Structure 1
Amino acid sequence: MTGQKITLKYVLYGILAVFFTWIIHEFVHWATSQLLGYESIMRINGVSPADGENPSNLDKIIISASGPIVTILQGLIVFILLEFRNWNKYLYLFLFTAFYMRFLAGLMNFLNPNDEGRISSFLGIGTFTLPIIVSGLLFLMVYKISKKYDLKWKFQLWTTLIVMVVSSILILADQFLGIKIL
């Protein structure tokens, strides 16, 4: 039987998983921008060029791709660990958060293209092609692990709520407070 009890420790790990996933995702965008020679500003939920910086279209695509690539790698590493080792509900949070983050970003393309949506548009394959592929891939990983360990609906619901609430707090804090990290 897999441990699926929701405890305070699980909630705290959920908070950690969301913060880690968001910060590493945005940090990689920022680092890529810096490595390409552009000064940029990193916030909790976004990276933007500093005043006067205007990356080329190709550099914008490279910067846009870097964050999702790291998030996909996070999901893949956790998937492999869960697939070939024993169940770890705390580790599962890092897979689920990667899926949730990219799925939510895909939905946000209806309002404003971001990351995969920008890359899809740049490649001329439609705004939603890459977001659907990335979200689908991460969903398949979540689904396969959920099936393998017979994860119950209550566990999945609580995991979703924890990730959703913490993600929403991060996103709203960024929108209203605009906290500059780097």
Structure 2
Amino acid sequence: MRNTLKTVLFVAAFSPALISVGVARLFGGSPFWDAIYYVAAGLIGSLMVVYVLTALKWRGEEFPFAVRKIESNDVLLLGVVVTYIFPFLARASDITVGAILLIGCVVWVVFWLTDATIPSPLMRLVGYRFYKAESANGMVYTLITRREIFDPRDVKTVKRISGSMLLEIVE
């Protein structure tokens, strides 16, 4: 189940790209209903991020966590933002639903099979930050939190998203 949450969380991070496709189709002269399907799918996917974070907050497995070293992991955010703008550069009117489904399936498989994570611009917009945190035993995790961390000792309790991802719940 944890792998599913991680996968949904990061595949949904690409949802604004669908909104971009819909807007580009409108500007490209496509029919309104053709464009609105993309926008609606993008909005629903964007809401999935909020749903998963809320579910983790209320039902996630909580445990103490000691951090030895921490560093910001937001630099990858730039690459994801480019995917939101890409439909305008690649003539979004040529993108089909089939192509989007194929790309979505490939992205789903990649996130499902790997521990790779990328900072989500959607999560950043709602105030979450991404850190690479090394635990006291040397394991490296992606730590997602709502606050800026200056001292690794400030991190006390987290909830597990997946084997390599943790969510700090700040009360």
TM-score (norm 2): 0.31
